[in-house]
Amino acid sequence: MNNGKGPIWIWKLCLVLSLSIGKPVGSFAQKVDIYGYFESQFMPSVLKDEFYQLTTNKLRVDLESSPAGQVTFGANFDFISYFGRKEWNILDYLPGSVTKVIPQKQRRFFNLSYNDTIFLDNAYLKLSFRFVDLTLGKQQISLGTGYAWNPTDLFNFKDLLDPTYEQPGHNAIRVDIPIGNRWEVVTIYTPEGRWGNSGKLIHLKGGMEHLDWSVIGIEKEWTFTDYLTSTSLIQKRKLLGGAFSGELFGLGVWGEVAHNDMGKTNDFWESLIGLDYTIRSGTYLMGEYYRHSLGKTDYREYNLNDWMQLITGEKKAISRDQAYVLIRHQATDLINIGCSVMASINDGSVGVVPTLSYNLFENVDLFTYLNFNLGREGKSFGKSWGNGGMLRLRVYF
Amino acid sequence: MNAKMIPIKVLGAFAALIWILLPAAVSGQELTSEQIMNRVNKLVSPETVKARIRMVIVTSSGKRRTFLYDSFSKDRGEKNLIRYIEPSRVKGEAILMLNNAEDIWIYFPRTKRVRKLATHTKRQKWEGSDFSYEDMGTGETFLKDFNSKKLGSEKKEGYDCYKIELNRKRGSDVGYSRLILWVIKENFFPVVINYYDRNDPGTLEKVLVQSNIKEIDGIPTGMKMVMYNKQDNTETSMEILDVKYNVKLDDGLFTERGLRK
């Protein structure tokens, strides 16, 4: 996990480079564009017949400045406060058959606390030249073409209930080299303590006719945790994969595939295929299928580590084959209604998430969803997760 | 000099006379619908355009939503880039449309993600407005996707106009079955366009009315346009705050890299 403490030398390098193209950093203050949003989220849930609620208030302040055509500075601060039930225990959400092996005195290791926080989410300097862009600092890294899952992305972990929510920044040095109008090479280096355990990425992107495609290679340190023994297995993960996005017989079609070479555990494949279409009434339909070659096909084999690695983002799915379906319709000029369905094909469990978004005023959005887990306890979308929802009011400035 | 040869000066004077008289002769003739549409196409699809536009959507319940964006267009409308400035909730979002909106990419600055849209989405409403992606990004669609027919002359919005009907060509997947244009005779500017349903040429879907016509860089320009949606009873207006024609626009602007800038 990224802890937000980037090496100071990146900032020194930023300073030197910005000075070298003739504009002092001090002049940023005169031209800084400030914008962002405030959002309040109310998240009720019903778990084992008990009602709980958690409310968050988040202020995001974005700063952006472009003191010269070639230089852009961007940053954002997040201030988040929590109210309601702030102490949770992850084991409360897991099937009893799995948690019964945990001794009572070890249960506290699974406690989860939400504490008020202020942090610098992104802070980067982008230098643009004719044949290269260089981005230095804490920045978002978005990879892959999938909506609900991204097999080629080792930097982010999506929440299936809210897959398009913004992802955190990562300390990185990024170089974009365009080759013609539709080809591009991207390299990203995410520095850790040593060169050997730092992340490295190379991404070749291209386009032909109506098809965009890419090939990607990533080397990144990866941790699998054994939650029974509280030990971590750190290894080097090497991903080689590709992604595409295009059109077939009038349908939008996209996909990703990745082979993961693990240093100490079993290698595995992840793949995704997606389709979408807009029918005449304007209703948008989308479906994705995701497969993890080491995912389990019998839910009775799901163990504590499977569940915990899913929750912490160490892996993207617990069962081998998953599906995600989304239907969205513009009910009025300002209201969109929709419903997403998440399913494990192997264990037959389903989660249903009806959604509504409403542009209340010029810069005010309301978004709400409910989520129902309809599977039997112990399955991917089983009753042990409880049912709940979220109401988000966001004001942009 | 050969006595039978026509002196160069006489030939030159004759050519000059033809040059002066020809446009008058042509304008005196009845232009065909193809000739009119060629002139319209040339007018509405300049080589490059750079503009700042304010768009106001009025919903069926009377609520207003205002957007401010920069628009860049190249190769007679074949390449288009739109970048939002206001409101804050869409600030920085950008849309790239290439090949007459056959290829569409959207950039979301909050997630730094670029998403490619399939062509079925080009008929979706653009930011909830009464314009579709297709309306915004198709350059020479009048000529490529439609057959034209002259229906006569009519007074429209105070101008003497040619009334032209365009019917969708077989094999075209453009989102309208039929268009009717009122083209100002004086300058070939399409002051009103009626758009008919994709599958039913008898159902009027939208009406575009352009007004406050000014000559900018020698090109007649409707500084205000309003699209009335006759099915949803909504309207969207666009006001050009600033426009420049035939400016130099780098090809790099119309790429994924340009989209993310």
- Domains annotated on chain B, with CATH: 33-260 (2.50.20.10)
Check B112 against A140: CB less than 8 A apart.
yes
Question: For residue A30, what pLDDT is reported?
Answer: 57
CB A273 within 8 A of CB A257: no
Tokens of A337: 């209604």
Averaged pLDDT, groups of 10, chain A, 397 residues long: 44 48 47 94 93 97 90 95 94 89 86 95 94 96 96 95 94 95 94 93 93 96 88 94 94 97 94 94 93 95 93 93 96 92 97 97 96 94 94 97
DSSP E strands in chain B: the ranges are: 48-58, 64-74, 79-86, 94-98, 103-108, 113-117, 146-156, 159-168, 178-184, 190-196, 204-216, 219-229, 234-245
Angle, CA of A64, B248 and B47, to the nearest 5°: 120
Nearest CA of chain B to the CA of A221: how many Å? 24
CB A201 within 8 A of CB A217: yes
For chain B, the distance separating the N- and C-terminal CA atoms, rounded to the nearest angstrom, is: 67
* Over residues B193-215, mean pLDDT: 94
Alpha-helical segments (H) within chain A: 8-20, 96-99, 304-311
Nearest CA of chain B to the CA of A218: how many Å? 19
Tokens of A271: 């793949």
Tokens of B193: 């366009």
**Alpha-carbon distances of A224 from A39, A195, A230, A265, rounded to whole Å:** 34, 21, 11, 9
Nearest to B153 by CA among B60, B57, B30, B25: B30
* Over residues B183-211, mean pLDDT: 94
Residues 76-105 of B with CB under 8 A from A: 87-89, 91, 102-103
Residues ≥6 apart with Cβ < 8 Å to A303: A98
Cα–Cα dist A344/A289, whole Å: 10
DSSP result, A19-60:
HHTT--GGGGGGG-EEEEEEEEEEEEEEETTEEEEEEEEEEE
Check A37 against B128: CB less than 8 A apart.
no
**Nearest chain A alpha carbon to B117:** A252
Cβ count near B242 (within 10 Å) = 10
Cα–Cα dist A14/A266, whole Å: 40
Check B116 against A246: CB less than 8 A apart.
yes
Bridge partner residues of A247 (DSSP): A252
SS3 content of chain B, % helix, strand, coil (to 5): 25, 45, 30
Check B118 against A184: CB less than 8 A apart.
no
Check A252 against B252: CB less than 8 A apart.
no
The DSSP output letter for A384 is G
**Alpha-carbon distances of A172 from A9, A189, A260, B126, rounded to whole Å:** 12, 5, 22, 35
Tokens of B258: 């340009």
pLDDT of B81 above 70: yes
> H or E stretch including B33?
helix B33-44
Higher pLDDT, B244 or B10: B244
CB B223 within 8 A of CB B242: no
Read off the pTM: 0.85
Question: For residue A12, what pLDDT is reported?
Answer: 52
The amino acid at residue A27 is S
Task: Count residue pairs from A and B with Cβ separation < 8 A.
Answer: 102
Category of A305 on φ-ψ map: left (φ > 0), alpha (ψ -120 to 50) or beta = alpha
What share of chain B in percent tops pLDDT 90? 61
* pLDDT tens by residue, B6-32: 444 444 544 444 444 444 444 446 889
Nearest to B150 by CA among B162, B140, B141: B162
Category of A71 on φ-ψ map: left (φ > 0), alpha (ψ -120 to 50) or beta = beta
**Alpha-carbon distances of A205 from A177, A208, A216, A302, rounded to whole Å:** 10, 11, 9, 37
Bridge partner residues of A68 (DSSP): A71
SS3 content of chain A, % helix, strand, coil (to 5): 10, 55, 30
* pLDDT tens by residue, B30-80: 889 999 999 998 888 889 999 999 999 998 888 999 999 999 999 988 899
Tokens of B7: 């002196």
What domains appear along chain A, each with residue ranges and CATH number? Answer: 8-396 (2.40.160.100)
**Nearest chain A alpha carbon to B257:** A178
Cα–Cα dist B79/B45, whole Å: 11
Nearest CA of chain A to the CA of B223: how many Å? 24
Cα–Cα dist B187/B27, whole Å: 12
CA dihedral B139, B142, B143, B149 (to 10 degrees): -170
Question: For residue B22, what pLDDT is reported?
Answer: 44
CB A168 within 8 A of CB A2: yes
Model-level ipTM above the cut of 0.90: no
Q: Which residues does chain B have within 8 Å of residue A363's beta carbon, measured at their own beta carbons?
A: 87-89
Residues ≥6 apart with Cβ < 8 Å to B5: none
Chain A contact for B62, CB < 8 A? no
Bridge partner residues of B100 (DSSP): none
